[in-house]
Chain A
Amino acid sequence: MNRFFAFVKKEFLHILRDRRTLLILFGLPFVQVLLFGFALTNEIKSAQIIVLDHDKGYHSGQIINRLVASGYFELQVYERSYEGLESAFRKGKVKLAVVFPVRFTHDYEHGRNAQVQLLADASEQNTAISLTNYASSIIRDYAAEGRTQVAGPMAIDIRSRMVFNPELEGAFVFVPGVMAMVLLLVSAMMTSVTIAREKEMGTMEVLMVSPLNQGQILFGKVLPYLLLSFLNGCIIIALGVFTLGIPLHGSLLLLLAETLLFIFLALSIGIFISSLTDSQLVAMFASLVIMLMPTIFLSGFIFPIESMPKLLQVISQIIPARYFIDIVKGIMIKGVGIGYLYKETLVLIGMSLFFTLLSLRNLKTRLV
């Protein structure tokens, strides 16, 4: 056991000595999460809106005033028809449209369900969400004030509709996405590079001649990265929850367990890559090409899977991060338990077993 600890200690020394590794390990999650988080929570100022006011009554006018007075919105133009809205959206200058139906004021004053429609350009999902949220809360405030002043039931029913991307898939995906990416990068790439480095430097031979057995060498290589990756996963979750206000509706324990599973999968891919090559450069390149790029482009991290061409949708099914992102979204945002996620979990387990067995077979002959 002491032998093994001597080995693990050496691995930690390698990591601590290498500034680049440290930077990737701990800088990357912060930069990524905050970068994406900033893009999402970026406060909106003076967004261009248009109003289609069929009502032209007192309350619609009041609400428009409130919206403009809030500072978030700038009234671009009063439109007369839906066709006008569409062309305004197409030009791309307008981000949100507010539509008041005929008799809005009448309905509101008579306690009927008065309706307002919000249309947002969801080709920029994050902006669209923020804008409709802001507008909704302003209108709701207005309705709440009205209720205290005048007796009788008064309600405004806000109907928002996302145009261009109605599902809004991928809006909160960035935290799970960054998590998948960072964990893959740390676990898989660094593991494969560190094993390739020992082979390239010739120290792997010396290790193989020592009384350490193959399992100890592999596990000793992997253990520090397992710990660091898990720490990283926790940091990303904490950053997401505490600084970006991502909800954590589901079980934290399940989330951590799934994170460990994904790290294990990433490590097994890393060992698999290192069993194919003796060169650090090849290992790094292979990691980037076969893991990082597909993760970014095909996992639904940045581009929603639903809007991909059929062929890419099929390919995305072999991207491990895709399943992990679904799991994390499920637990954090939807608050579902393992009962809803067992399929994705099984896929991850299956993939881990596949790569572990494959690399064990390769390694027997290739480690030296």
Chain B
Amino acid sequence: MEEAVITRKLTKKFGDFIATNEITFTVNPGEIFGFLGANGAGKTTAIRMLCGLLAPTSGEAKVAGYDVYQQSEQIKHVIGYMSQKFSLYEDLTVRENIRFYGGIYGLSGAEIKRQTESILETLSLQPVAHSLVASLPLGWKQKLAFSVAMVHNPKIVFLDEPTGGVDPITRRQFWDMIYQAAHRGTTIFVTTHYMDEAEYCNRVSIMVDGRIQALDTPRALKQTYGVDSMDGVFQILAAALPPNELIVRC
């Protein structure tokens, strides 16, 4: 089977600032790919290029076999996206949100109905199905947002810091949902800055200042750097700034 995501020297510059610097990586179908890095390391820029929200400055990228320059319309049909900001409409009810996202992805009325029931069932949201999303607790909203991003059964789903600001129990439940989705064959591309979450991924890449500094399974990374947690790996990589960066800091 074809790679879910493949990039080669993908670069985005904003003026003089290089947000992502020649990143090259491959995401295998069905895997949970963790995209790690500190705030401002270039994770969001990379994800936005892959989703077709930003045009790359140079380099190549393919998502689900489609080229990001030429075939962004095809890409849109097969990916799901959950942004850093909350992506549901607070003034619509739970049901209306599901129906809307099902609608814009071209699902038929019957499919939307089936998906709605299944989401309400899975998340036990039946009692609040007709309540405005604004009235739900944050954890529920995040889980609902994830389900809505999956409403059209995308091949790949991009999650940009999906667990930001969520309590640990909900984060755990959220990752259970991610596992289930991966189990059904969806490729998960997830950014986070919680290092404990990195342990849950099949493979992780760590971005520092626009570059990918490491890419492997969590176990292999911990062995390579001789530490017993992903946090340790990250500390080592983040400290080792490139020389020119050091000169600037001095």
Contacts and interface: CB of A to CB of B under 8 A. Distances in A.
B51 interface: yes
A368 B55 CA distance: 12
Contacts of B91: 13-14, 17-18
A3 interface: yes
Nearest to B87: A206
B104 A207 contact: yes
Interface in A2-57: 2-3, 5-7, 9-10, 13-14, 17-18
A17 B96 CA distance: 12
Contacts of A212: 104
A209 B91 CA distance: 21
B86 A201 contact: yes
A209 B103 contact: no
A5 B103 contact: yes
A207 B89 CA distance: 12
Contacts of A203: 85, 87-89
A211 interface: yes
A6 B101 CA distance: 8
A202 B83 contact: yes
Interface in B11-50: 48
A205 B105 contact: no
A208 interface: yes
B106 A205 contact: no
Contacts of A205: 48, 53, 81, 83, 85, 87
Contact of B84 (A202, A213, A368): A202
A294 B190 CA distance: 49
A148 interface: no
Contact of B103 (A6, A17, A18): A6
B83 A211 contact: no
Contact of A6 (B48, B73, B79, B104): B104
Interface of A: 2-3, 5-7, 9-10, 13-14, 17-18, 201-203, 205-213, 368
A-B pairs, top 4 by smallest CB distance, nearest first, are A6-B103, A202-B85, A209-B81, A206-B87
12 contacts: A3-B104, A9-B103, A10-B96, A10-B103, A14-B89, A14-B91, A201-B86, A208-B52, A208-B53, A211-B77, A368-B53, A368-B54
